[in-house]
């Protein structure tokens, strides 16, 4: 059992060495783009078309002092995160079943293909007929996350090192021990990558659903109102809020994922 774990960790470590991590966010690059934004705003001198970064930050600060601002964040965060978690769970479960049962894989392949190819706007309009606007972002986020998680986890399971599985069979390891010592570390990079991609997608799609459905007290409603009243500072401020929340939520989910895996490996 020890040899399986050590062999497994060597494989994971080797793959990490081959794949160079992307460069992180550099302060100088952020400052440069903010400077370009500020210069463009001065040059255009049309706040309705392009507001300055200073005006956006000022408006964002004003919004943070209101109760409605935090309620809107809570409304959208709860529903989009719920859609993400449900999509991640359903995608992982379906991938595990599809890897084991050929008929299940054949059954869900057309549905996954449809979910990946049909435009988000079409889904939103269709689903809005059956689901109240308050819960629209939950289902749309779920729908965006499901195919990404399903495809990546299924690929991870199918590409699991066959030598490790043969070794586990020789030592008569139980299914739980195979999952714990082999599948978790082998599938984890695929699942983490899928989470990183799907988190951005679910936020974009979830907010788009709110803009179309206009549920009361949501971030999407505030974006829609900013568009209707041509309130550019509000539009940019709420967009910045979406970016910040999306990044924080992604870091939090990946941190919880690493913590969960660490706990499972210590059981």
Q: Structurally, what CATH architecture does the domain formed by 49-266 represent?
A: Orthogonal Bundle (1.10)
Query: Which of 25-39, 85-99, 109-123, 146-160 ranks highest by mean pLDDT?
Result: 85-99
The confidence score (pLDDT) of residue 17 equals 41
Buried b (16+ CB within 10 A) or exposed e, 78-89: ebbbbbbebbbe
Tokens of 103: 């008929």
Contact 250, 192 (CB under 8 A): no
CA-CA-CA-CA torsion for 227, 233, 237, 238, nearest 10 degrees?
A: -10
Tokens of 71: 């309620």
The confidence score (pLDDT) of residue 12 equals 40
Calpha distance 171→165 (Å, rounded): 10
Q: Can you spell out the DSSP letters for 209-261?
A: HHHHH--TTSHHHHHHHHHHTT-HHHHHHHHHHHHHHHHHHHHHHHHHHHHHH
Q: Where are the domains of the chain?
A: 49-266
The confidence score (pLDDT) of residue 77 equals 94
Looking at residues 237-252, what average pLDDT do you find? 91
Per-residue pLDDT of 42-58, as tens digits, reads 888 887 788 888 899 99
């Amino acid at each position: 059992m020890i040899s399986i774990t050590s062999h497994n960790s060597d494989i994971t470590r080797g793959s990490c060495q081959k794949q160079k991590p992307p460069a992180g966010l550099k302060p100088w690059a952020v400052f440069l783009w903010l400077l370009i934004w500020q210069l463009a705003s001065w040059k255009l001198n049309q706040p309705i078309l392009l507001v300055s970064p200073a005006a956006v930050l000022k408006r964002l600060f004003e919004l943070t002092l209101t109760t409605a601002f935090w309620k809107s964040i809570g409304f959208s965060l709860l529903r989009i995160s719920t859609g993400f978690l449900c999509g991640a769970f359903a995608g992982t479960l379906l991938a595990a079943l599809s890897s084991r049962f050929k008929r299940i894989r054949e059954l869900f392949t057309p549905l996954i293909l449809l979910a990946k190819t049909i435009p988000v706007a079409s889904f939103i309009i269709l689903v809005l007929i059956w689901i109240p606007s308050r819960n629209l972002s939950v289902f749309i986020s779920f729908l965006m996350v499901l195919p990404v998680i399903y495809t990546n986890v299924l690929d991870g399971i199918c590409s699991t090192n066959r030598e490790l599985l043969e070794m586990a069979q020789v030592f008569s390891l139980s299914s739980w021990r195979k999952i714990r010592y082999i599948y978790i570390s082998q599938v984890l990079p695929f699942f983490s990558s899928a989470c990183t991609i799907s988190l951005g997608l679910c936020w974009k799609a979830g907010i788009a659903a709110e803009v179309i459905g206009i549920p009361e007290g949501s971030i999407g409603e505030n974006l829609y109102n900013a568009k209707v009243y041509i309130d550019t500072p509000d539009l940019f401020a709420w967009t910045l809020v979406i970016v910040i929340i999306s990044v924080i939520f992604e870091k939090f989910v990946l941190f919880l994922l690493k913590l969960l895996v660490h706990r499972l490996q210590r059981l």
